[in-house]
Structure 1
């Protein structure tokens, strides 16, 4: 028996990872206590995904309703399956800038301490396993906002001759800028994942994601902007744009392409705490205004939206991932879906 442990197994990336690995014949241990509902209310609940996985995957999927802040419970799971665990995919997190400021202790304990618990359990019980961490581009704080951005009609852009025009690479500084408390807790976890890889020579990797999205995401106001935007257009829910005139740009990648990247690394892992930026890059990116226009075009409906001139603390004006480091290490991996394909699939 070969076992994959997935935290946040009822969320977007976690649930699709569970289906993917069961489809390959693995047994999957899912760890998820639906804390997303605590963060975002009933609209953020992942209970439906959990029940769907249990029904569809049957005995190949075993669910544990465990809080990753509880090290004793995490240790018990890892000890039970220690002979068989070959891969850990850690997606569980508190994912919102704004929410982190409400409860900084909860945010840090989930994002940083929870990651430490999983790393230590891996080191203690299955040190040869591959450990994949879904980090975030927010580890760069608002450093990208210091780039010489150009305001265009529907988006901010960067000059085509600038070194970061193809996207922001892993060499961007993470130091001495505004991260938001969420960005800080995720950065702490990111550094821990790197350190366990380097110090203990484990197969750990941080994927610093842009906008990861897909049809199974429980999009809410504070997280999952593409999914939530489509929900608002389809259901006639008023939508608010926060700051930057709606011209802020994000690169967007489908959950299936994220999991494909995970599996590509898993098949040929590198030692020592690798870090990769992962997103849609220049192939799949969009501004808020452009996303609204595309959503209206796809659905045939009009969105009732308004502007709030105050941007979120630590939020990016322009962020496109440079994914060349990952594709140079793993040239067999390719992005298969652009932003239009993703939004049509959500619709």
Structure 2
């Protein structure tokens, strides 16, 4: 039986990966210490997801471990010796990183380093997949000429008709402290692949979403937006007239991508991973989409100050991914994603 180790196993992507590989007959070890509750308070608590996984998975074992604990990480990898490591644990918020910079860097950069070195020592043949972020590009995507449309910003340069490719520079731009800590992790994952010949991969995610997301204001765009609508809570738009665009990918399609990479691994791989143009949407467009589903008008306020390093328009170019991982593609449309988010939050808010 093959063994998978997932960090951040109670988060959105981690829990999806656990369920996906458990269903395929893998033995799954999940690492999560519910740091999201510490970061985001009660709304960020992921213990409900831990209980769901323990109740529904066939071969899941949970380990309460902080990835900053180097000795603990080394001991775990020595004991488990997994075939596949999927590293999703992170401090994921722009804003929180500025107020807690040491925690941000220690979790995102040092925690990743702990896992890489433990893998090199105790499971060097394992495939190592790191959930990176499009924030490694900093605000460089904002240098692309844009055109303002009634409900969104759009690329004016036809070279970006398919979105942002992996060849975009990550240098000499403003990232936010979160983006910078993720750059450190991203580059180290690549280096362990190239220098040591390990099978490593960075997935530079756009907006990753799905029904098991504990969406909060500082993290989880669509999930939090849907929750605000259903609770008739005020949503805050930060700058860009609410026309900023994100491409959204369902967590299931992320798990499928990891499966495809496991079957076709390579050292130091980098992929932009989002929903692509078909799954792109602006905040204003998302307000309209969720209101049409729920019948509840969206309550919001506008702050004419964007978050530092935030993207005006970001769409992932999936061309490289489709070439390198033939057979993989988006299976969940934006309408599927909205339907699932609304249904999930309606159920969760009953409890």
Task: Assess same fold via TM > 0.5.
Answer: yes
Distance 1:75 1:331 in 2: 34
Secondary structure in 2 aligned to 1:163? helix
Superposed displacement of residue 162, structure 1? 2.1
- Matched with 2:70 is 71
Distance 1:332 1:137 in 2: 23
Distance 1:239 1:330 in 2: 38
- Matched with 1:80 is 79
Which segments of 5 or more consecutive residues in structure 1 lack a partner in the other structure?
none
- Matched with 2:346 is none
Distance 1:119 1:329 in 2: 23
Distance 2:170 2:222 in 1: 26
Distance 1:304 1:157 in 2: 25
Q: Does 1:128 align with 2:125?
A: yes
- Matched with 1:177 is 173
Secondary structure in 2 aligned to 1:218? coil
Secondary structure in 2 aligned to 1:237? coil
- Matched with 1:186 is 182
Distance 2:41 2:229 in 1: 20
| Aligned positions, number | 342
Distance 2:322 2:248 in 1: 17
Moved over 4 A (4+): none
Distance 2:283 2:69 in 1: 38
- Matched with 1:100 is 97
TM-score (norm 2): 0.96
Superposed displacement of residue 282, structure 1? 1.1
- Matched with 1:21 is 21
Residue in structure 2 matching 1:153, options 131, 150, 166: 150
Q: Does 1:295 align with 2:294?
A: no
Task: Deviation per CA, 1:105-124: give whole Å up to 9, x if none.
Answer: 11000000000000001000
Distance 1:245 1:227 in 2: 20
- Matched with 1:51 is 51
Which segments of 5 or more consecutive residues in structure 2 lack a partner in the other structure?
343-351
- Matched with 2:272 is 277
- Matched with 2:163 is 167
Residue range with higher mean Cα deviation, 49-58 or 170-179: 49-58
Alignment of 1:111-122 (within 5 A): 111-122=108-119
- Matched with 2:232 is 236
Residue in structure 2 matching 1:91, options 88, 92, 100: 88
Distance 2:68 2:197 in 1: 25
Distance 1:2 1:256 in 2: 20
- Matched with 1:267 is 263
Q: Does 1:319 align with 2:318?
A: no
Aligned alpha-carbon RMSD (Å): 0.8
Distance 2:167 2:265 in 1: 21
Secondary structure in 1 aligned to 2:229? helix
Distance 1:229 1:311 in 2: 17
Distance 1:226 1:212 in 2: 9
- Matched with 2:249 is 253
Superposed displacement of residue 76, structure 1? 1.2
- Matched with 2:341 is 346
Distance 2:56 2:316 in 1: 34
Secondary structure in 2 aligned to 1:258? helix
Distance 1:150 1:143 in 2: 17
TM-score (norm 1): 0.97
Distance 1:284 1:341 in 2: 10
Superposed displacement of residue 331, structure 1? 2.1
Distance 2:225 2:279 in 1: 17
